[in-house]
Amino acid sequence: MGDEKQALLFKKISIRTILPNVVTLMAFMSGLTSIKFALAGKWELAVFAILLAGIFDGLDGTVARLLKSTSRFGAELDSLSDVVSFGVAPAVILYLWVLEGLDRLGWAVALIYAIAMALRLARFNAKLDDEDEPRKRLGFLTGVPAPAGATLLLMPLIVDFALEAVVVHNYGLVVAAYAVVVAVLMVSTIPTISLKAFRVPKAWFVPVMLIIGIVIAGLFVRTWLVLIVIAAAYLSSMPFSYLAYERRRKQKRIG
């Protein structure tokens, strides 16, 4: 019995098990760094750091699956990283940028968003192994996912960057109301698009690749404007996602 415990104690962990967690930690560090930039008033860098955290967040799961090194530890670490990078950090950025001017109301809005993110991630973890969850089974997500929620929350800053003038910054109450709407969308049960479940017909492969290339080129040339278009398209897709989900649900029930 003692030998077995000693063997477990000195059990070696391969680099392929560590690598996905390193990517997750990079997302975590990017989120924390965004707060540093916000405290220094470097708003564009703060938003870039959140977007970088989103890229790392998308990569860690992909790396884990490619290396066949998914683990419960990685899933828990990912959620903790998401709370900081997409919950706490964006709330702090928006508060320092405009909500601080609303005094207690502004802080309350920041708290509401951060709490909504924590609740969303707790719900996600609770249903992590539930393959029978209706939206997941039909290829949809439940509510707005963490990275998308953080990006939507920071849209007022991005609009301000695109206009190259302090316009949105002057509408604190409007921004506060918008932030609450984003928080509600995250904890809602609205079925939203899941890119993992998205399938492209073979005949559309080349046109879709061309569109992706145009979007990437646009991000290099007019980053903020393209992000606004993507966010608007995502929000506009929600009614269609709901209708598509209801149609598939009815077809599944009939079948």
Assign 165 to helix, strand or coil: coil
Q: What tens digit of pLDDT does each residue of 214-230 get?
A: 999 998 999 999 999 99
Strand blocks (E) in 181-254: 191-193
Q: Write the CB contacts of 107 (distance below 8 Å, at least 6 apart in sequence).
A: 95, 99, 100
pTM of the model: 0.87
With cut-offs at 50, 70 and 90, classify the pLDDT of residue 201: confident
Q: What tens digit of pLDDT does each residue of 77-135 get?
A: 888 999 999 999 999 999 999 999 898 999 999 999 999 999 999 988 777 655 555 56
CA atoms within 13 A on the CB side of 130: 13
Q: What tens digit of pLDDT does each residue of 158-190 get?
A: 999 988 766 566 688 999 999 999 999 999 988
The residue to which tokens 């278009």 are assigned: 229
Whether residue 28 has pLDDT greater than 90: yes
With cut-offs at 50, 70 and 90, classify the pLDDT of residue 147: very high
Angle between helix 89-97 and 104-126 (nearest 10)? 160
Both tokens of residue 47? 């938003």
Which CATH architecture is the domain 12-254 placed in? Up-down Bundle (1.20)
138 with 248: CB under 8 angstroms? yes
